[in-house]
């Protein structure tokens, strides 16, 4: 049985997608493919593939990643119910969510702030890329989410990370401290309805506008905390322009940031939109990546790489 998509939701994104609206709605109602990222801090990619294949699993490489795979497995099994998962050899992570750490592209000596880090997907991916060198401050505001973050980082063998509990907006007072900031912002979560239909239960324009206000405050703090010449990667798992292009437009116009033109190989994406509901956005916004569920059979996603000049 297919879920019913709210009429207002259909109308909003029909205005952007036009003739593609129906295929977008169709994909919103499809179950999301399971995907994993093999954790090279603890395991060899080929060895993990061999182990999982011996269980009857089928793995398909996610083309824009180094160690990400879509997986399917015999009926009755679960993606997290293996010895390899328990040992931290792989992490269950959505394919589109692997893009922000790839775009951040950290050096091994970097000092990085992951401003809204729980449950640890992107923190652990950054640590893997950095080979446990450098320093990552993994922050979250919720003590319950921090418990999950700590558990995941320990299981995955992450050693270069300090966990903090702060409102992300408070980092505005740590001026010019970080080489890069990852801001995977809290959002209205429209993009995840393929795996969690309950995300639409609290959906409303008022909720979207509230998130947009918070996101602008968080990106302001991220700009303050980033060194001159440093990078901010902003991402959300939502489709709302108010939470995506409008936030990037705000950062560009208020802080003079530049949006770098990044084009991950084998990833289908759309440019950021320039206008929404009478608001016109800076041309820099076009360099962001807008990823619709039907583009790569993933969740809906948005990501932009900004440079503090």
Radius of gyration over alpha carbons of the chain, in Å? Answer: 19
Cβ contact 122:114 at 8 Å: yes
Task: Say whether pLDDT at 1 is over 60.
Answer: no
Hey, which residues are catalytic here?
Answer: 237
Q: Rounded distance, CA 178 to CA 104, Å?
A: 13
Lowest mean pLDDT across 94-98, 195-199, 241-245 = 195-199
Alpha helices in 199-283 (DSSP H): 205-225, 245-255
Torsion of CA 279, 283, 287, 292, to 10 degrees: 30
Cβ contact 112:87 at 8 Å: no
Cβ contact 271:288 at 8 Å: yes
Task: Say whether pLDDT at 262 is over 90.
Answer: yes
Percent of the chain with pLDDT over 70: 99
> Of 236, 128, 239, 126, which is closest to residue 181 (Cα–Cα)?
126
Cβ contact 38:48 at 8 Å: yes
Determine the average pLDDT of the residues in 192-196: 93
Q: Rounded distance, CA 89 to CA 136, Å?
A: 21
Determine the average pLDDT of the residues in 50-58: 98
Task: Say whether pLDDT at 261 is over 80.
Answer: yes
CA 86 to mean position of chain CA atoms:
23
- Cβ atoms within 10 Å, residue 120: 28
pLDDT band at 4 (very low <50, low <70, confident <90, very high): confident
Determine the average pLDDT of the residues in 253-266: 96
Determine the average pLDDT of the residues in 53-82: 96
Walk me through the domains of the chain, giving residue ranges and CATH numbers: 96-307 (3.40.50.150)
pLDDT for 201: 85
pLDDT tens-digit map of 108-136: 999 999 999 999 999 999 999 999 999 99
Bridge partner residues of 290 (DSSP): 270, 302
Residue 89 is given by DSSP the state: S
Q: Rounded distance, CA 283 to CA 280, Å?
A: 9
Bridge partner residues of 233 (DSSP): 182, 305
Tokens of 105: 């592209």
């Amino acid at each position: 049985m297919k879920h019913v998509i709210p009429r207002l939701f259909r109308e909003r994104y029909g205005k952007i997608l036009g003739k593609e609206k129906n295929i977008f709605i169709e994909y919103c109602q499809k179950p999301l493919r399971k995907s994993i990222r093999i954790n090279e801090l603890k395991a060899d990619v080929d060895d993990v593939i061999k182990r999982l294949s011996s269980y009857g699993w089928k793995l398909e490489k996610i083309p824009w990643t180094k160690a990400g795979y879509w997986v399917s497995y015999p009926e009755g099994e679960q993606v997290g119910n293996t010895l390899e998962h328990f040992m931290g050899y792989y992490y269950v992570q959505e394919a589109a969510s692997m893009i922000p750490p790839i775009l951040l592209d950290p050096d091994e000596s970097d000092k990085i702030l992951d401003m809204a880090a729980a449950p640890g997907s992107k923190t652990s991916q950054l640590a893997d890329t950095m080979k446990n060198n450098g320093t990552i401050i993994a922050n979250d505001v919720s003590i319950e989410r921090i418990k999950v973050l700590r558990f995941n980082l320990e299981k995955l063998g992450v050693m270069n990370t300090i966990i903090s509990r702060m409102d992300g907006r408070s980092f505005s007072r740590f001026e010019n401290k970080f080489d890069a900031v990852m801001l995977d912002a809290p959002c209205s979560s429209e993009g995840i309805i393929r795996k969690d239909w309950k995300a639409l239960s609290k959906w409303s324009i008022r909720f979207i506008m509230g998130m947009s206000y918070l996101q602008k405050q968080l990106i302001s703090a991220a700009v303050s905390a980033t060194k001159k010449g440093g990078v901010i990667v902003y991402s959300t798992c939502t489709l709302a322009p108010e939470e995506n292009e409008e936030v990037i437009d705000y950062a560009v116009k208020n802080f003079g940031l530049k949006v770098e033109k990044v084009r991950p190989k084998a990833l289908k994406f759309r440019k950021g939109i320039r206008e929404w509901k009478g608001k016109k956005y800076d041309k820099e916004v076009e360099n962001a990546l807008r990823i619709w569920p039907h583009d790569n059979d993933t969740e809906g996603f948005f990501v932009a790489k900004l440079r503090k000049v």
